[in-house]
C-alpha cells in the first residue's frame, strides 16, 4: 500500500501497481486501454475518474486506490487482480517470422498483424539502431521447419499495437517518436530490406506498409511494381525523394565520373542485394555500357542497406558502391548521381483502415517529421504524406 501520492480520494491508500515476475500494473493498464482503442480521456470518463489519475497510474507515479482500481477493471472487462496483482509471464503466441528464427530464446520484435502476430528477428542489420533495441518476445521451442513456418514466441509483456514497415530507407525509424506520442500510442518496428522484398512481405500480409523506390517500365516509381505484386490492391503514399548514384572515397572523386571509370580502374565495389533498386541502377548502367558484371571486383557482395554501403566504403572495405545521396553525405563521401528517385509507402488495401495505418497517416503530415526529414542532407520531403495513387484489386483491373 502507498499513501499520499495522488489526488485526494483517488490514490491515497492505493493498490501496489505491479509485482515481481512481470510487468507493472501501470503498464498492464496502458496496454489494456490501447488494445481496446481508448484514449486516456475516454477511459477516465467511463470510469468516472480524472484523466490525470489514469496518466499517473500508467506512468507509475501513483498507485490506484481500491475504488479507482475497481472502476478501471470494470470498464476494461478484467479483474483487479489481473490488472494490478503480481505479474505473471505471458503465454506463448504463434507468430509468422519475417525471416528464419534461431533457437529457443532468440530475441524478436513482436507485433500484432490483424488477428495474428509477426516476429522480426533482432539479428544482423535489425539488432541495432546505434544500440540494442528492446525485444518484444523470445522464441519458444527448437529451431527447424521451413523459413516461413509459424513459430511459438513468448512475449515480454503483452504486445501492443505496432506499425510494422519494411524497406531500405534509413529515415524510417524517424516515425517511431511521433507514433509514440499519439493517444493511444502506436509502437514501431522496421524491417530493413530491398524494395522488392518489402513489397512481397506486404503482399503476404506480413507488414502494414512497404517502403519502395522501384522504377517501373514506364519510368515512374513504385506504382507498376506494387500493382504487380499486391493483387489485393493498395494505396501509395509519398515519403521522400532523393538521388541514387555512386558513393565513393573522396580521393577518388577527381578521376571517377561514372561506372565505366570504376571498371577501368578496377575499384572494389560493395553491392546491394538482388531485388534492390540500387543494384538495378548499377545493372542498367552496366547494360548501357555493354560491360559484363563479372568485370567488377566485389559485384557479388551484398550490403543490406544504403548506410551499410556507405559505412563499408568509409571503413576502407570497398572503394565504391551504389547508394542514396543522403547515405553518402552522412559518411562524408563523394557522390556521383545516376538517378532521381521517389521513395513511397505502399499500404495493402486490407491494412488501410487499421489503427496502425491511421496513426501513420497522421504523423506523415506532422511538422516534426517534415522538419526532421528536411534536416537530413539530400532528402526532399515535399511529397511526404501525399496520396500518390490507389491501386485497384486485380479483379477490377482492365484486362
Task: Give tens-digit pLDDT for 119-145.
Answer: 888 765 564 565 677 888 898 877 766
Question: Of the ranges 12-21, 255-264, 339-348, 386-395, which one carries the lowest mean pLDDT score?
Answer: 12-21
Predicted local distance difference test score (pLDDT) of residue 86: 67
Distance CA 187, CA 180 (A): 6
Is pLDDT larger for residue 114 or for residue 358?
Answer: 358
| Predicted local distance difference test score (pLDDT) of residue 123 | 67
Q: Is-contact 270 303, C-beta < 8 A?
A: yes
Q: What is the pLDDT of residues 315-344, one digit of tens each?
A: 999 999 999 999 998 888 999 999 999 999
Task: Note the pLDDT of residue 341.
Answer: 94
pLDDT tens-digit map of 213-258: 999 988 889 999 999 999 999 999 999 999 999 999 999 999 999 9
pTM for the model stands at 0.70
Of the listed ranges 6-15, 86-95, 330-339, the one predicted with least confidence:
6-15
Q: If DSSP states are collapsed to H, E and C, what string results for the chain?
A: CECCCCCCCCCCCECCCCCCCCCCHHHHHHHHHHHCCCCHHHHHHHHCCCHHHHHHHHHCCCCCCHHHHHHHHHHHCCCHHHHHCCCCCCCCEEEEECCCCCCCCCEEEEEEECCEEEEEECCHHHCECCCECCCCEEEECCCCCCCCCCEEEEECCCCCCEEEEEECCCCHHHHHHHHHCCCCCCEEEEEECCHHHHHHHHHCCCCCEEEECCECCCCCECHHHHHHHCCCCEEEEEEEEEEEEEEECHHHCCCCCCHHHHHHCCCCEECECCCCHHHHHHHHHHHHHCCCHHHCCCCCCCECCHHHHHHHHHCCCCCEEEEEHHHHHHCCCEEEEEEEEEEEEEEEHHHCCCHHHHHHHHHHCCHHHHHHHHHCCCCECCCCCCEEEEECCHHHCCC
Q: What's the confidence (pLDDT) of residue 124?
A: 56
pLDDT at position 279 = 95
**Whether pLDDT at 301 is above 60:** yes
Work out the pLDDT band at 14, boundaries 50, 70, 90.
Answer: very low
What pLDDT is attached to residue 108?
83
316 CB neighbour count, 10 Å cutoff: 9
pLDDT tier, 147 (very low <50, low <70, confident <90, very high otherwise) = low
* 376, pLDDT greater than 60: yes
- At 278, list the grid cell: 540500387
Best-predicted range by mean pLDDT (24-33, 183-192, 263-272)? 263-272
pLDDT at residue number 17 = 42
pLDDT of residue 111: 85
Return the CATH fold of 209-399: D-Maltodextrin-Binding Protein; domain 2 (3.40.190)
Strands 387-391 and 234-248: antiparallel
41-50, 103-112, 265-274, 365-374: lowest mean pLDDT where? 103-112
Task: Give the pLDDT band of residue 114 (cuts 50, 70, 90).
Answer: confident
What are the extents of the domains in the chain?
1-88, 209-399
pLDDT at 1 over 60: no
Average pLDDT over residues 339-366: 95
What's residue 140's pLDDT? 84
Per DSSP bridges, beta strands 334-348 and 320-324 are unpaired
Decide if pLDDT at 179 tops 80: yes
Average pLDDT of 197-211? Answer: 95
Looking at the DSSP bridge assignments, the partners of residue 308 are none
Has residue 6 got a pLDDT over 80? Answer: no
Say if CB 62 and CB 56 are below 8 A apart.
Answer: yes
**Which residue reads 542498367 in cell numbers?**
284
Confidence (pLDDT) at 233: 95
Span of 37-51, 73-87, 168-182, 378-392 with lowest mean pLDDT: 73-87
Q: What are the tens digits of pLDDT across the range 15-35? A: 544 433 345 678 888 888 887
Give CA–CA dist 385/376, Å, rounded: 17
For residues 360 and 75, which has the higher predicted lDDT (pLDDT)? 360
Crossing angle for the helix pair 66-76 and 25-35, to the nearest 10 degrees? 30
Per-residue pLDDT, averaged over 28-45, amounts to 86
Superfamily of domain covering 1-88? lambda repressor-like DNA-binding domains (1.10.260.40)
Average pLDDT, the chain: 85
| d(C-alpha 42, C-alpha 45), whole Å | 5
Amino acid at each position: 500500500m502507498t499513501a499520499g501520492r495522488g489526488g485526494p480520494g483517488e490514490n491515497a491508500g492505493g493498490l501496489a501497481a505491479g509485482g515481481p515476475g512481470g510487468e507493472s500494473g501501470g503498464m498492464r493498464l496502458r496496454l489494456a486501454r490501447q488494445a481496446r482503442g481508448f484514449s486516456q480521456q475516454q477511459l477516465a470518463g467511463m470510469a468516472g475518474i480524472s484523466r490525470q489519475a489514469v496518466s499517473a497510474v500508467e506512468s507509475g507515479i501513483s498507485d490506484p486506490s481500491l475504488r479507482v482500481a475497481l472502476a478501471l477493471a470494470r470498464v476494461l472487462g478484467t479483474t483487479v487482480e489481473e490488472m494490478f496483482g503480481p505479474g505473471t509471464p505471458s503465454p506463448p503466441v504463434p507468430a509468422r517470422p519475417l525471416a528464419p528464427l534461431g533457437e529457443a530464446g532468440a530475441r524478436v520484435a513482436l507485433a500484432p498483424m490483424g488477428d495474428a502476430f509477426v516476429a522480426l528477428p533482432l539479428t544482423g542489420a535489425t539488432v541495432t539502431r546505434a544500440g540494442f533495441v528492446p525485444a518484444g518476445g523470445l522464441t519458444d521451442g527448437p529451431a527447424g521447419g521451413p523459413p516461413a513456418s509459424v513459430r511459438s514466441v513468448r512475449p515480454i509483456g503483452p504486445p501492443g499495437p505496432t506499425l510494422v514497415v519494411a524497406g531500405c530507407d534509413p529515415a524510417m525509424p524517424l516515425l517511431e517518436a511521433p507514433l509514440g506520442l499519439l493517444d493511444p500510442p502506436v509502437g514501431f518496428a522496421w524491417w530493413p530490406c530491398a524494395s522488392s522484398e518489402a513489397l512481397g512481405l506486404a503482399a503476404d500480409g506480413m507488414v502494414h506498409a512497404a517502403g519502395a523506390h522501384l522504377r517501373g517500365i514506364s519510368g515512374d516509381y513504385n506504382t507498376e511494381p506494387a500493382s504487380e505484386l499486391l493483387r489485393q490492391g493498395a494505396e501509395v503514399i509519398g515519403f521522400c525523394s532523393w538521388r541514387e548514384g555512386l558513393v565513393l572515397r573522396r580521393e577518388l572523386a577527381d578521376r571517377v565520373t561514372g561506372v565505366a571509370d570504376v571498371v577501368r580502374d578496377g575499384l572494389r565495389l560493395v553491392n546491394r542485394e538482388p531485388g534492390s533498386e540500387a543494384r538495378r541502377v548499377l545493372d542498367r548502367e552496366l547494360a548501357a555500357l555493354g560491360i559484363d558484371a563479372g568485370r567488377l571486383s566485389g559485384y557479388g557482395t551484398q550490403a543490406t542497406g544504403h548506410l551499410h554501403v556507405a559505412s563499408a566504403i568509409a571503413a576502407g572495405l570497398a572503394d565504391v558502391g551504389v547508394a542514396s545521396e543522403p547515405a553518402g553525405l552522412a559518411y562524408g563521401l563523394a557522390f556521383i548521381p545516376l538517378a532521381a528517385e521517389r521513395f513511397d509507402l505502399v499500404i495493402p488495401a486490407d491494412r488501410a483502415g487499421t489503427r496502425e495505418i491511421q496513426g501513420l497517416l497522421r504523423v506523415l503530415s506532422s511538422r516534426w517529421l517534415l522538419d526532421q526529414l528536411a534536416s537530413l542532407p539530400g532528402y526532399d520531403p515535399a511529397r511526404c504524406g501525399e496520396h500518390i495513387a490507389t491501386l485497384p484489386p486485380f479483379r477490377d483491373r482492365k484486362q
